[in-house]
Structure 1
Amino acid sequence: MFPKISFFKALGWGLGVTILVTFLLQRMGFIRIDFDEYLENILILGSWWMLCSLVFYYIRRIRLRKKSLLRILYLVLFLTGILLLDQWMDIPDNPVSIFLLILFWMGIAQFVAPVFFKKFQKTIFLVYGLVWIAFTLLRWNEAYLREHHQLAILMLLIPIPFFLIIWVFEQWKRIKDLESQKNQAELTMLKNQINPHFLFNTLNNLYGLCVEKSDTAPEVVLKLSDMMRYTIYEGKKQEVLLSKEVDYIKNFLGLQQLRHRDEPQVDFEVKIEQDSMISPLLFIVPVENAFKHGVEKMTEGAFVRISLVSEPEKLKFQIENNFDPESQDAKPGIGLENLKRRLELAYPNSHFLQITKNKDVHQVILEVLWS
């Protein structure tokens, strides 16, 4: 199995092979290069360079089975037949040979880059059909052809760089699409890793309230239902309204206050000048951590202070909570690492995240610049 190489490495290998083969063929007398014909030489060598690069780029994907080997053999025999026919007819710039050579190169392109050729085959046939007709019309008048020989050659060669540019663009677009799909899949996975700790504890508390026949049990069910609905449906979206995210946090805080008999001091300050779109479930991780690692480990005096300010230029979210230093885990949780990765994917180069600990107070500051 051939190793996989990048496109730029394939370009390097293709250039090296093209220069080496051209030099050897010239030294052995198989080809003659007119060094005064700069443009023609550049186009011809450039075409061979791109072709060799494509072979190196796709060589790992080409499975050399019986069918592939037979196609290579057919192409070699076809090219040999073209050269013998051209030699037998002995007509300079023979339109028949040119037509067969065009078919040969189309066969090469279809073998090396089948997906690209299938997508643009109608355009390729149309362009080269018109080019061959124009070349034949020029060839009809030999005196005119001799005077405009360079134009005739250019007509045959100029479409090649344009198709190669289209191919490079298609590869670039394909890579970007794959990156986008990968990032979206990773974002979805990270969203689905929201800590189930809160859900389990809430269900346990709900069970206790039901046993006690507490009047707050229906309220807990309603808030929990709203949160689960938001997580399942809104959490799948790429963006949601900031106001919906705020409602989600309020439901979470309400459930937390119902859960704890010694109610912690919870302050949630919200100031929204503009209800913009935001990536869903972006703030729940630091909020969950404030209760999981702070409130639940404190016997008394626990507090959580949250501030969310949305301005036309940016969004600022800040949360701080106290904690018991003796009960803190040495190993950091996965939640904040997931949050960092989500921010890198959703808001590259347009976010700021700062996490600090000062004695017994933990603080998270998150800023997102609106695009």
Structure 2
Amino acid sequence: MFPKASFFKALAWGFAVTLLITFLLQRIGFIKIDFDEYLENVLILGSWWILTSLVFYYSRKISLHKKNLLKILYLALFFTGILLLDQWMSIPDNPVSIFLLILFWMGIARFVAPAFFKKYQKVIFIVYGLIWMVFSILRWHETYLREHHEMAIFMLLIPIPFFLLLWVFEQWKRMRDLENQKNQAELAMLKNQINPHFLFNTLNNLYGLCVEKSDAAPEVVLKLSDMMRYTIYEGRKKEVSVSQEVAYVENFLELHKIRHRQLPKIDFSVSVSEDKLISPLLFIVPVENAFKHGVEKLAEEAFVSITLDSNQEKLRLEVENNFDLSSQSTAPGIGLENLKRRLELTYPGSHTLQITQKNGIYTLVLEILWSR
């Protein structure tokens, strides 16, 4: 997110360099600071501070190859020419010098922030074009130095903070967009991890039925086909309805009922008063784990209890199963870690996932608060 630590470091370096150069220039008499002109001093030093900070901030992105070195040389020569011209004309607040200084700072801005300058260059030219024309009119007024000097300088400097705030906003928006793109790419990767994981387990089950020449094998193939169709076409969507996810889990349970000779006790209780939209393929992970780590490793009296409730406020999924204490593994499975990460990305701050293991009973409770 923005601002980054490097930006604060750039501000600190920019502040230190600006104060040092200002102090040295004043000491050698190159510039004179009127300490009574608070507004002018704050705006000028603030502008130098921010612009110097931008140079530090972009220093890693600006490689000093021949082309950039030439740009820096041209800007330095241009600025030197402005100072010589202003000294030669010897006119206080010379409109010609002010115009050239505006172009110089535009060149600096284009060098350190080319993308931002290119995007808003028309606005920048229009704003400063109008300000320079008003400044020129005020400058040639007879009472300028007495009545309009401070206002004219203020007009020249006041747009700078607004453009800097706009730049900060653009940086924040860019960082947010990059983070969203990263999250979406990670979500897509995590969804793709679900399909092979489930397919591997189910094909193992189907292989066992085929070896036994079971009449249930064709029906398993059909159920598997329906489930894979769902994972391929619905799984790539951002959201699906809760009822679609329920139907997917029901197919999964039916597949296991077909496979097992000694049917485990399966209880699936569903109450959907609000058929909200939800990220796909969330329910299958805890349900599949209940069979993989419970039913598959218990010789008898295996059970799986699933309770799903979706109302106007939240969705609550509870999966409970017994397991063999002697074969208990402390390492979390890929599927469960996958589920946790997906929940963090999709429902940050609006979900809870609680897992308990007590007396051979494994319980997973997932709650998702619906956004309003």
- Shorter chain as denominator, the TM-score bin is over 0.9
Letter in 1 for 2:81: G
Letter in 2 for 1:200: F
Listed as ranges, the matches of 1:205-216 within 5 Å are 205-206=205-206, 216=216
Letter in 1 for 2:29: G
Letter in 2 for 1:152: A
Q: Describe the superposition over 1:10-45 as per-residue Cα deviations: whole angstroms up to 9, x where unpaired.
A: 111111211222122222221111122111111111
2:303 counterpart residue number: 303
- Is 1:192 the equivalent of 2:188? no
What SS class does the counterpart of residue 190 from structure 2 fall into? helix
- What TM-score do you get using the length of structure 2 for normalisation? 0.94
Q: Is the 8 A contact 2:272 2:309 kept in 1?
A: yes
2:86 counterpart residue number: 86
Letter in 2 for 1:128: Y
What SS class does the counterpart of residue 47 from structure 1 fall into? helix
Q: Describe the superposition over 1:192-215 as per-residue Cα deviations: whole angstroms up to 9, x where unpaired.
A: 222735423433444565677765
Letter in 1 for 2:236: K
Q: Structure 1 residues 150, 197: CA separation in 2 closer, same or farther (over 3 Å shift)?
A: closer
- Measure how far apart 1:176 and its partner are: 0.9
Alpha-carbon distance in structure 2 between the residues aligned to 1:301 and 1:339:
28
2:97 counterpart residue number: 97
- Is 1:139 the equivalent of 2:151? no
Q: Is the 8 A contact 2:320 2:363 kept in 1?
A: yes
- What TM-score do you get using the length of structure 1 for normalisation? 0.94
- Is 1:370 the equivalent of 2:367? no
1:107 counterpart residue number: 107
Q: Structure 1 residues 33, 197: CA separation in 2 closer, same or farther (over 3 Å shift)?
A: closer
1:162 counterpart residue number: 162
What SS class does the counterpart of residue 251 from structure 2 fall into? helix
Q: Structure 1 residues 329, 184: CA separation in 2 closer, same or farther (over 3 Å shift)?
A: same
Alpha-carbon distance in structure 1 between the residues aligned to 2:82 and 2:208:
88
2:127 counterpart residue number: 127
What SS class does the counterpart of residue 120 from structure 1 fall into? helix
Alpha-carbon distance in structure 2 between the residues aligned to 1:246 and 1:223:
15
Alpha-carbon distance in structure 2 between the residues aligned to 1:153 and 1:266:
80
Letter in 2 for 1:250: E
Q: Is the 8 A contact 1:268 1:306 kept in 2?
A: yes
Q: Is the 8 A contact 2:240 2:280 kept in 1?
A: yes
Q: Describe the superposition over 1:105-128 as per-residue Cα deviations: whole angstroms up to 9, x where unpaired.
A: 000000000010011111111111
Alpha-carbon distance in structure 1 between the residues aligned to 2:151 and 2:229:
68
Q: Which moved more, 1:22-31 or 1:353-362?
A: 22-31
- Measure how far apart 1:345 and its partner are: 1.4
Alpha-carbon distance in structure 2 between the residues aligned to 1:55 and 1:171:
15
2:238 counterpart residue number: 238
Q: Is the 8 A contact 2:209 2:259 kept in 1?
A: no
Q: Is the 8 A contact 1:309 1:317 kept in 2?
A: yes
What is the number of equivalent residue pairs in this alignment? 368
1:339 counterpart residue number: 339
Q: Describe the superposition over 1:88-113 as per-residue Cα deviations: whole angstroms up to 9, x where unpaired.
A: 11111111111111110000000000
Alpha-carbon distance in structure 1 between the residues aligned to 2:296 and 2:208:
18
Q: Is the 8 A contact 2:11 2:50 kept in 1?
A: yes
- Measure how far apart 1:273 and its partner are: 0.9
Alpha-carbon distance in structure 2 between the residues aligned to 1:164 and 1:201:
56
1:153 counterpart residue number: 153
Alpha-carbon distance in structure 1 between the residues aligned to 2:27 and 2:322:
81
Q: Structure 1 residues 196, 292: CA separation in 2 closer, same or farther (over 3 Å shift)?
A: farther
Q: Describe the superposition over 1:24-75 as per-residue Cα deviations: whole angstroms up to 9, x where unpaired.
A: 2222221111122111111111111110111111000001000000000000
1:348 counterpart residue number: 348
Q: Is the 8 A contact 2:216 2:259 kept in 1?
A: no
Q: Is the 8 A contact 2:195 2:231 kept in 1?
A: no
What SS class does the counterpart of residue 48 from structure 2 fall into? helix
2:320 counterpart residue number: 320
2:263 counterpart residue number: 263
Q: Describe the superposition over 1:261-319 as per-residue Cα deviations: whole angstroms up to 9, x where unpaired.
A: 22211111110110111111112111111111111111111110000001111111000
- Measure how far apart 1:146 and its partner are: 3.4
Q: Which moved more, 1:17-26 or 1:147-156?
A: 17-26
1:228 counterpart residue number: 228
Letter in 1 for 2:361: V
Alpha-carbon distance in structure 2 between the residues aligned to 1:24 and 1:301:
86
Alpha-carbon distance in structure 2 between the residues aligned to 1:201 and 1:105:
65
Q: Is the 8 A contact 1:5 1:57 kept in 2?
A: no
Q: Which moved more, 1:14-23 or 1:285-294?
A: 14-23
Alpha-carbon distance in structure 1 between the residues aligned to 2:333 and 2:220:
27
Q: Which moved more, 1:84-93 or 1:332-341?
A: 332-341
Alpha-carbon distance in structure 2 between the residues aligned to 1:197 and 1:68:
52
Percent identity reads 74
Which structure 2 segments of 5+ residues have no match?
none
Q: Describe the superposition over 1:157-188 as per-residue Cα deviations: whole angstroms up to 9, x where unpaired.
A: 01111100000000011111111111122222
Q: Is the 8 A contact 1:195 1:335 kept in 2?
A: no
Q: Which moved more, 1:214-223 or 1:265-274?
A: 214-223
2:14 counterpart residue number: 14
What SS class does the counterpart of residue 234 from structure 2 fall into? helix
Letter in 1 for 2:357: K
Alpha-carbon distance in structure 2 between the residues aligned to 1:332 and 1:204:
21
